[in-house]
Amino acid sequence: MKMDYSVYLVTEESRDLKELLFIVEEAVKGGATIVQLREKTSEGKLFFEKALELKRLLDQYDVPLIINDRVDVALAVHAAGVHVGQSDIPLKAIRAIVPDSMVVGVSVSNPEEAQAAQRDGADYVGVGAAFPTASKGNATVLPPGMLEKTVQSVTIPAVAIGGIHLGNITQLNHIDLAGAAIVSAIMNAPSPREAAEQFRELLLGRKGSKAETI
């Protein structure tokens, strides 16, 4: 499956299954190109059930599903990929147990982490936090210029993450990003479809951006 990271939707945990599926489907209809299921506190069975239903939905639209942290869940539902952080299972260990076709993304906050991720086999990196964010309270906002420096340090696709909304996303226009990870600005929008449409228009309108070609 071709990976388009431009409008990278990350779900919020405080949603029941019916609401989750509704919001995600609306966002996909509006132009979300990839969806990451993030369930930090859910028990394994609930996580699996949500992932399975979300995978069935996204398959109808040919949109990839990425699972946050849980390699076992990603394997169990045959997700397109898994996304891990710096404190999770090492990337080399993940690569040893997942199919070659599975995409693996890593959260990074500086060039050293980004280069290590690329060296160990990451398919893409999530760089942030780009802005203050409520969805990850312990995230540190990157100093001015650090996001761009980190993106430039690798050749694999880089997605900005953290506190991104329609009011600040244009501040990232000068950075050669593959896309932007959006959480509450779509999940909590009055119309997730319209929000996704606006993000897609802004991201794909960036001249020279990787989002145009990936």
**1 lies in some domain:** no
**18 lies in some domain:** yes
What pLDDT is recorded for position 189?
97
pTM of the full predicted structure?
Answer: 0.94
Q: Is 60 annotated as a binding residue?
A: no
Give per-residue pLDDT as tens, 131-169.
998 766 667 899 989 999 999 999 999 999 999 999 999
Q: Is 88 annotated as a binding residue?
A: yes
Number of domains in the chain: 1
The residue annotated as part of the active site, out of 55, 70, 107, 153, is 107
**113 lies in some domain:** yes
Whether pLDDT at 102 is above 70: yes
Domain limits at 91?
7-212
CATH number for 85: 3.20.20.70
What percentage of the chain has pLDDT greater than the value 90? 86
Q: Is 40 annotated as a binding residue?
A: yes
What pLDDT is recorded for position 137?
60
Give per-residue pLDDT as tens, 164-212.
999 999 999 999 999 999 999 999 999 999 999 999 999 876 544 554 4
50 belongs to the catalytic site: no
**135 lies in some domain:** yes
Give the 3-state secondary structure of the chain.
CCCCCCEEEECCCCCCHHHHHHHHHHHHHHCCCEEEECCCCCCHHHHHHHHHHHHHHHHHHCCCEEEECCHHHHHHCCCCEEEECCCCCCHHHHHHHCCCCCEEEEEECCHHHHHHHHHCCCCEEEECCCCCCCCCCCCCCCCCCHHHHHHHCCCCCEEEECCCCCCCHHHHCCCCCCEEEECHHHHCCCCHHHHHHHHHHHHHCCCCCHHHCC
2 belongs to the catalytic site: no
The residue annotated as part of the active site, out of 136, 193, 200, 210, is 136
38 belongs to the catalytic site: yes
Q: Is 69 annotated as a binding residue?
A: yes
